[in-house]
């Protein structure tokens, strides 16, 4: 169905913002499409001696504000429209947090779970041989994404440096620390989200240190949100968490560090001592101050939005709230911190990595946290002020901020 096409959704979201902003037709049309995209085939010698052909993509959506930036996904269901949509969203994400980068994205159609380490390395190097001439710190900077890792980034960097003949660590981010990765990258997505929650709580006059919170999705971002909420906000009561296998609840509070340890040891949150079971759907409707949807897209819809009781919903997942639900939550007075603002901490620290690589000087963890805090706070203020002025929900406000910045850069360059 066309309405489920992620790139069509991305275009529709842009259309809504363009209409609200009164964007001229030429600028609107320019921003609806990728500026460049590459399709290529990658032959890889497999461990059994056979050669297998993989299909890869790289989309450079818009570079008006700077070099394009975005992850490389390895997934069996990867499509060019998914990559286009993600590149568009990266464009708006970078603009929303006001970092001088455009949006890009890449992908390879493969199932990495079926590949050996050697096959993964040969595939990673083959990708760079196919598209490396279009990459670089001043052109397009990849990063890890679904099923790609710091090790894969290391192989890609090494292949690129072999081709160009000199050290060039800033051409890719999300690298291991010994090869120029940045301190603070591991928890950056959740940390940026919690900074936004802190600012939202001030606006709503909620005492964040005493607020109750629940986390739907207990992967990397959800686990860090559990502990960072208490660390950054000076307290708070975690009452429920869930993962793909189920959830747990305790009205008296759950020890955040203990349940993270339990999840890492057992691979689940079910059965955590002192808790009762709760479903993912019921967790979303709990009467808590702050909800962190941190798992899948489309979990808050027109079917359950009226039952959401949280005062703040901080989207660490991509696309957890449907457009219909956005309107319902806004009318209910629930403040949604939209994904491409709330979870932009990851790309922001990736930008910091690129900066550190470029001038060959590395920051302390405290420096990274301080710079991330400033960027996320400024982003929240810009979006919240637009929401108040334009009387729109937070996602549309975030789009309006981001699209305005990209459109301005296009006009200043004389493109439109």
- Confidence class for position 324, pLDDT limits 50, 70, 90: confident
- Do 199 and 334 belong together in one domain? yes
- Whether 253 is covered by a domain: the verdict is yes
Single residue among 342, 369, 392 that ends a domain in this structure = 342
Measured distance CA(124)–CA(178) in Å, rounded: 19
> What is the pLDDT averaged over residues 34-41?
97
- Whether 350 is covered by a domain: the verdict is no
- Do 192 and 324 belong together in one domain? yes
pLDDT tens for 44-101 read 999 999 999 999 999 999 999 999 999 999 999 999 999 999 999 999 999 999 999 9
Q: Domains in the chain: how many in total? A: 2
Single residue among 169, 199, 225 that ends a domain in this structure = 169
Length of the chain: 416
- Do 148 and 219 belong together in one domain? no
In the predicted structure, residue 209 carries a pLDDT above the cut 90: no
- Do 90 and 130 belong together in one domain? yes
- Confidence class for position 2, pLDDT limits 50, 70, 90: very low
- Whether 374 is covered by a domain: the verdict is no
> What is the pLDDT averaged over residues 153-177?
97
User: For residues 80 and 116, is the Cβ–Cβ distance under 8 A?
Assistant: no
Q: DSSP for 128-196?
A: HHHHGGG-BTTTEEEEE-TT--HHHHHHHHHHHHHHHTS--GGGS-S--GGGTPPTT-TTHHHHHHHHH
Q: Is 56 helix (H, G, I), strand (E, B) or coil?
A: strand
In the predicted structure, residue 1 carries a pLDDT above the cut 50: no
Measured distance CA(334)–CA(306) in Å, rounded: 11
- Whether 414 is covered by a domain: the verdict is no
- Confidence class for position 309, pLDDT limits 50, 70, 90: very high
- Confidence class for position 33, pLDDT limits 50, 70, 90: very high
| Per annotation, catalytic residue among 93, 105, 230, 263 | 105
> What is the pLDDT averaged over residues 221-247?
94
pLDDT tens for 335-394 read 999 998 999 999 999 999 999 999 999 999 999 999 999 999 999 999 999 999 999 999
- Whether 349 is covered by a domain: the verdict is no
- Whether 159 is covered by a domain: the verdict is yes
- Do 154 and 195 belong together in one domain? no
The pLDDT score that the predictor gives to residue 4 is 65
Q: What's the Cα-to-Cα distance from 240 to each of 110, 216, 256, 292, 306, rounded to whole Å?
A: 35, 8, 10, 11, 20
> What is the pLDDT averaged over residues 316-328?
88
Measured distance CA(154)–CA(180) in Å, rounded: 10
- Do 160 and 228 belong together in one domain? no
- Do 223 and 320 belong together in one domain? yes
Q: DSSP for 207-236?
A: -GGG-EEEEE--SHHHHHHHHHHHHHHT--
What is the percent of the chain where pLDDT is above 70? 99
- Whether 142 is covered by a domain: the verdict is yes
- Do 42 and 74 belong together in one domain? yes
> Shortest CA distance to 375 belongs to which of 220, 195, 138?
195
- Do 215 and 273 belong together in one domain? yes
Angle between helices 80-96 and 6-21 (to 10 degrees): 40
CATH number at residue 88: 3.40.50.10860
- Do 199 and 132 belong together in one domain? no
The whole domain housing 224 covers 188-342
Measured distance CA(164)–CA(261) in Å, rounded: 44
- Do 281 and 238 belong together in one domain? yes
CATH number at residue 282: 3.40.50.720
- Whether 69 is covered by a domain: the verdict is yes
The pLDDT score that the predictor gives to residue 226 is 96
- Do 165 and 201 belong together in one domain? no
Single residue among 285, 309, 342 that ends a domain in this structure = 342
105 as an active site residue: the answer is: yes
pLDDT tens for 86-121 read 999 999 999 999 999 999 999 999 999 999 999 999
What is the percent of the chain where pLDDT is above 90? 90
């Amino acid at each position: 169905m066309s309405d489920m096409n992620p790139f069509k959704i991305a275009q529709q979201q842009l259309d809504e913002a363009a209409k609200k902003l009164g964007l001229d037709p030429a600028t609107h049309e320019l921003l609806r499409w990728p500026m460049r995209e590459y399709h290529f085939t990658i032959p890889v010698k497999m461990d059994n001696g056979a050669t297998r052909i993989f299909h890869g993509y790289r989309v450079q959506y818009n570079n008006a504000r700077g070099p394009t930036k975005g992850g490389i996904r390895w997934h069996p269901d990867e499509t060019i429209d998914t990559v286009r949509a993600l590149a568009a969203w990266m464009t708006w994400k970078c603009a929303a947090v006001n970092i001088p980068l455009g949006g890009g994205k890449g992908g390879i159609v493969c199932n990495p779970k079926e590949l050996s380490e050697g096959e993964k390395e040969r595939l990673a190097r083959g990708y760079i041989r196919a598209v490396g001439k279009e990459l670089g710190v001043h052109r397009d900077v990849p990063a890890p994404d679904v099923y790609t890792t710091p090790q894969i980034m290391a192989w890609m960097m090494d292949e690129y440096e072999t081709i160009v003949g000199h050290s060039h660590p800033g051409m890719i981010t999300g690298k291991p620390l010994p090869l120029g990765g940045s301190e603070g990258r591991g928890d950056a997505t959740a940390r940026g989200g919690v900074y936004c929650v802190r600012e939202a709580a001030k606006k709503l006059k909620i005492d964040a240190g005493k607020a109750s919170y629940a986390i739907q999705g207990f992967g990397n971002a959800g686990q860090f949100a559990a502990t960072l909420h208490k660390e950054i906000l000076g307290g708070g009561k975690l009452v429920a968490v869930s993962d793909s296998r189920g959830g747990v609840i305790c009205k008296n509070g759950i020890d955040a560090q203990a349940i993270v340890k339990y999840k890492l040891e057992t691979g689940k949150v079910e059965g955590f001592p002192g808790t009762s079971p709760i479903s993912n759907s019921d967790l979303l409707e709990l009467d808590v101050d702050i909800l962190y949807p941190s798992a899948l897209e489309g979990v808050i819809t027109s079917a359950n939005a009226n039952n959401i009781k949280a005062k703040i919903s901080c989207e660490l997942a991509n696309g957890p709230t449907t457009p219909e639900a956005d309107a319902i939550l806004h009318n209910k007075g629930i403040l949604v911190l939209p994904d491409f603002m709330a979870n932009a901490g990851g790309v922001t620290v990736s930008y910091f990595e690129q900066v550190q690589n470029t001038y060959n000087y590395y920051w302390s963890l405290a420096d990274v946290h301080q710079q991330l805090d400033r960027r996320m706070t400024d982003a929240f203020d810009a979006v919240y002020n637009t929401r108040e002025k334009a009387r729109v929900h937070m996602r549309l406000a975030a789009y309006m901020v981001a699209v305005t910045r990209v459109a301005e850069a296009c006009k200043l360059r004389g493109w439109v």
